[in-house]
Amino acid sequence: MRSKRDELETIEAQPAPSALPSSLSSATVGSLTERELIERIQERLPPSPDWMPVGIGDDAAVVEPERNRLEVLTVDALVEGIHFDRAFTPAEAIGHRALAVNLSDLAAMGASPRLALVSLALPATLPCREFERLVSGLTSLATRYKVHVAGGNLTRSPGPLMVDITVVGTVKRRQVLTRASARPGDDVYVTGTLGAAAAGLQMLRAGSGALNGAAGPSPAESCVERYLRPEPRVRVGVLLGRNRAASACIDLSDGLADGVQQIAHASGVGMIVDAAALPVDKTATRWFESRGEDPIERAVVSGDDYELLFTVRPRDRARLNAAARHREPSITRVGVCTAERAVLLRRVVGERTADAPFPRGYTHFR
Amino acid sequence: MRSKRDELETIEAQPAPSALPSSLSSATVGSLTERELIERIQERLPPSPDWMPVGIGDDAAVVEPERNRLEVLTVDALVEGIHFDRAFTPAEAIGHRALAVNLSDLAAMGASPRLALVSLALPATLPCREFERLVSGLTSLATRYKVHVAGGNLTRSPGPLMVDITVVGTVKRRQVLTRASARPGDDVYVTGTLGAAAAGLQMLRAGSGALNGAAGPSPAESCVERYLRPEPRVRVGVLLGRNRAASACIDLSDGLADGVQQIAHASGVGMIVDAAALPVDKTATRWFESRGEDPIERAVVSGDDYELLFTVRPRDRARLNAAARHREPSITRVGVCTAERAVLLRRVVGERTADAPFPRGYTHFR
């Protein structure tokens, strides 16, 4: 964890705001030194494991590879104004999501997460309290999934807050899941429910009034929670790879419409997805209907669900049942792969079924 | 290499600008799809090596670890407006520097680079031509050092251009260089020359007029080149680790003043550095003097040199000579480690030597 000399360093004449308890402090990160910021990260981290002889604090981290396993690496960034709005996204949720989206990518490969590198670009005006909450959201999730923060980078941003995370996981060679191995006849499954995160985002944008009225956590709050703090499907992904139940897998960070196209394209198959089978979140359904929107349409084009979409050979259904023995998340069969290359959404219209090209994901900037 | 559905995707109604030769095209990255941008990166990359069964295009990359070696990981970001100014930094140099600063970190650990993950946040208005030049600067350096781009992330930026790169290298366990193993009596060395990059940056800021006058590459241009396209000291770092000549090592991304403090602090030693021995670049010296600045002072507090600072036990001097047998870069002894913890700069004043606390690096935002 390092930063260039000209970043996030203190103006010496200022009193050291870090001497204050952070709850009393109105300091911004621009008034702290790099070392102070790094210390605030380090104090939330567990001790370095044996396999990491050099962690945060040198030019780079040094780690011992796991024996007899392949490594899986991915990077994903969250950018203020593109992926989140600080007006309604708590800093702690920003830290959580930034790591969760990466763990979701590992899950889609069947890999167990191992370590992360965290690169932060911080506006100098960011309150230290917000910085600490962001770090706390990130390190809490890291601790739950035994992900060790091996290092990172701190820099000032002249504009948006950015959180860029690289994660490294491991998987046995024969247990790697890719997008490219679906075959005609494979069944198509999805974990959990769809559309909740998109509804949650709309609710947040609509303002807090939409969430009030009920005592205790309301159904609406569950959608908001799904948007703010997605739970990466690490356990399911690892199980699907480990017992080789899935033939292909992808995460739904970019939505179901993107996911089906990606698997179909990479595997050279088509798909028919049954609209009636799609596990659209019930609260999200009511929310979309109240706005005059088609819940199916919204649920398939919306991203941010971080569920897994995967295919299973019919003969491997018993393996899937073994991998899916846990109550959470639910697993739903939604379609089948076809030799015909088209990717279709099948709906019941009156008494007939009608197949239409699968809706495309968003094609504009948010 | 992926991007969220809402990033960098095309507005369908627009004509596909990628059909034009890029030299004729005035398209911006915001008018291209993610897939088109990724293709422009992929076409500049060599084929995936055998040890990378899954490269760009899936949820994550999959690589086989190198046997009997430790892995070294680091991440570093270049942010427009903080680390570079697009007004006088060619896009190709941005790509070069973004990778070079990371390779420099690996060099300081004695590690050989292996792969990189590239995360780009691009303003939608960035011309495609600039994007391609940035990619070209990055991939050219990657090819020279046999670094394979295993994946990455593309996102739109609402503000600055950002290039965040994670690199992974490998090193044998007994050949790792850290900052923490210098001992009193060890000699202190630096590679190459100091201050050229800082002078080059000042020259660029002063405008092109300062560079004119001579035919062919002028000395001033060598300083500018040092700033724009630093050469990471990978070979020297690897050699110093391999024959165990160096007891401690750091790269000078943050300047000599920072480097001596970091090694001294991590190793629990002091240092005396001889100002007269410092290899300050000759053109930079003239440049600083012409501006009424002290060249020594400027050279020690300036960053961006990406040289290596390292310590050598006196008994290992023969090993150093073996590691330093190449003509480039030069290697200069500049001081000695002491049991007394102070880090001092020794200057000759009249007929006496005077030791003063080592100047501190920059303490303000650039």
Q: What separation in angstroms does the CA of B103 have from each of A301, B170, B251, B347?
A: 40, 12, 10, 33
Same domain, B229 and B333: yes
For residue range B334-347, list pLDDT tens digits in order. 999 999 999 999 99
Mean pLDDT (whole number) for B349-362: 87
Please indicate whether residue A180 or residue B350 has the higher confidence score (pLDDT): A180
- A208 with A91, same domain: the answer is no
Residues of chain A in contact with residue B162, where contact means CB-CB under 8 angstroms, are: 121, 162
Task: Answer yes or no: is A16 within a domain.
Answer: no
Inside any domain, residue A366: no
Helix/strand/coil (H/E/C) assignment for every residue in chain A = CECCCCCCCCCCCCCCHHHCCCCCCCCEHHHCCHHHHHHHHHCCCCCCCCCCCECECECCEEECCCCCCEEEEEEEEEEECCCECCCCCCHHHHHHHHHHHHHHHHHHCCCEEEEEEEEEEEECCCEHHHHHHHHHHHHHHHHHCCCEEEEEEEEEECCCCEEEEEEEEEECHHHCCCCCCCCCCCEEEEECCECHHHHHHHHHHHCHHHHCCCCCCCHHHHHHHHHHCCCCCHHHHHHHHHCCCCCEEEEHHHCHHHHHHHHHHHHCCEEEEEHHHCCECHHHHHHHHHCCCCHHHHHHHCCCCCCEEEEECHHHHHHHHHHCCCCCCCEEEEEEEECCCCEEEEEEECCEEEEEECCCCCCCCC
Chain B interface test: which of A54, A75, A201, A254 (most B C-beta within 10 Å): A75
The whole-angstrom distance between residue B79's C-alpha and the CA centroid of its chain comes to 14
Higher pLDDT pick, A94 / B219: A94
Q: Count up the domains in chain B and report the number.
A: 2
In a domain, A18, yes or no: no
Judge if B70 and B102 occupy the same domain: yes
Contacts of A254 in chain B (CB under 8 A): 2, 4-5
Give the β-pairing of A187-191 and B248-251: unpaired
| Per-residue confidence (pLDDT) for residue B216, from 0 to 100 | 52
Q: Do B71 and A65 lie within an 8 Å CB cutoff?
A: yes
Interface membership of B114 toward A (CB under 8 Å): no
ipTM of the complex: 0.90
Instruction: Write the CB contacts of A301 (distance below 8 Å, at least 6 apart in sequence).
Output: A255, A256, A257, A359, A360, A361, A362
Query: Is residue B216 classed exposed, middle or buried when 0-12, 13-18 and 19+ CB atoms within 10 A define those classes?
Result: exposed
A225 and A299 belong to one structural domain = yes
Q: Which residues of B touch A82 (CB under 8 A)?
A: 6-7, 155-158
Tell which of A149, A174, A199 closes a domain.
Answer: A174
**pLDDT surpassing 80 at residue B171:** yes
Flag whether pLDDT at A213 surpasses 50: no
CB pairs under 8 A between A and B: 259
CB contact under 8 A, B60 and A72: yes
- Interhelix angle for B234-242 vs B91-108, to 10°? 10
A168 touches chain B (CB under 8 A): yes
Mean pLDDT on A137-145: 97
- pLDDT above 50 (res A272): yes
* Yes or no, beta carbons of B162 and A162 under 8 Å apart: yes
Asked whether residue A323 is domain-assigned, the answer is yes
- Asked, for residue B4, whether it belongs to a domain, the answer is no
pLDDT confidence of residue A1: 56
Q: With beta carbons under 8 A apart, name residues in chain B contacting A106.
A: 59-60
A137 and A38 in a single domain? The answer is yes
| Angstrom distance (rounded) from CA A60 to CA A2 | 9
For residues B150 and B170, membership in a common domain is answered with: yes
The rounded percent of chain A whose pLDDT value lies above 90 is 78
pLDDT band at B326 (very low <50, low <70, confident <90, very high): confident
Choose the mutation target among B8, B32, B58 for the interface with A, i.e. most A CBs under 10 Å. Answer: B58
Which of residues B175, B200, B233 is at a domain's end? B175
More confident residue, A9 or A284: A284
pLDDT tens, position by position, B80-134: 999 999 999 999 999 999 999 999 999 999 999 999 999 999 999 999 999 999 9
Q: Between A62, A75, A109, which is nearest B153 by CB?
A: A75
Q: Which residues pair with A194 in a beta bridge?
A: A280
Residues A168 and A241 in one domain: no
Residue A17 within a domain: no
Residue that finishes a domain, picked among A130, A148, A174: A174
What does the pLDDT read at residue B44? 92
Together in a domain, B73 and B202: no
Mean pLDDT of all residues belonging to chain B: 89
Q: How confident is the model at residue B9 (pLDDT cuts 50, 70, 90)?
A: very low
Instruction: Give the residue numbers spanning the domain of A254.
Output: 187-357
- Interchain contact A36–B (C-beta under 8 A): no
Give the gap in angstroms from C-alpha B104 to the nearest C-alpha of chain A. Answer: 9
Q: Which residue from A160, A168, A173 is facing B159, i.e. has the nearest CB? A: A160
Predicted pLDDT at A363: 46
pTM exceeds 0.80: yes
The CATH number covering residue B247 comes to 3.90.650.10
In this predicted model, what pLDDT tens digit does every residue of A42-57 receive, in sequence order?
999 999 999 999 999 8
Residue B26 pLDDT level (bands cut at 50, 70, 90): confident
Residue A277 lies in a domain: yes
B252 touches A: beta carbon within 8 Å: no
At A208 the pLDDT is 56
Judged by CB atoms closer than 8 Å, whether chains meet at A155 and B82 is answered as yes
pLDDT at A291: 95
Q: Distance (Å) from the C-alpha of residue B123 to the closest C-alpha of chain A?
A: 11
- Asked whether residue B71 falls in the same domain as residue B155, the answer is yes
Interface test with B, best of A31, A41, A59, A310 (most B CBs within 10 A): A59
Q: Which residues of A touch B161 (CB under 8 A)?
A: none
Number of Cβ within 10 Å of residue B268's Cβ equals: 12
Asked if the structure places residue B214 within a domain, the reply is: no
Same domain, B124 and B263: no
Cβ contact A258–B164 (<8 Å): no
List CB contacts (< 8 A) between A74 and chain B.
59-61, 117, 151
* List of chain A residues whose C-beta atoms are within 8 Å of the C-beta of residue B77: 119, 121, 153, 155, 164
Cross-chain CB nearest to B4 (options A73, A150, A253):
A253
Name which of A249, A30, A278 is nearest A154 in CA terms: A30
A106, A113 Cβ separation under 8 angstroms:
yes
**Interface list for A 73-112 with B (CB within 8 A):** 73-77, 79-83, 105-106, 108-109, 111
pLDDT at A21 over 80: no
Q: Which of A60, A73, A303 sits opposite B5 (nearest CB)?
A: A303
| pLDDT tens per residue across span B58-82 | 999 999 999 999 999 999 999 999 9
Give yes or no: residues B236 and B298 share one domain.
yes
CATH number of the domain to which A150 belongs: 3.30.1330.10
Percentage of the residues of chain B whose pLDDT score is greater than 70: 89
Query: Are B153 and B193 in a shared domain?
Result: no
The answer to whether residue B312 scores a pLDDT higher than 60 is yes
Section A241-255 average pLDDT: 95
The DSSP-derived string for B126-142 is: SBHHHHHHHHHHHHHHH
The pLDDT value given to residue A362 = 57
**Which residues, in sequence order, are CB contacts of A157 under 8 Å at separation 6+?**
A121, A122, A123, B79, B82, B159, B160
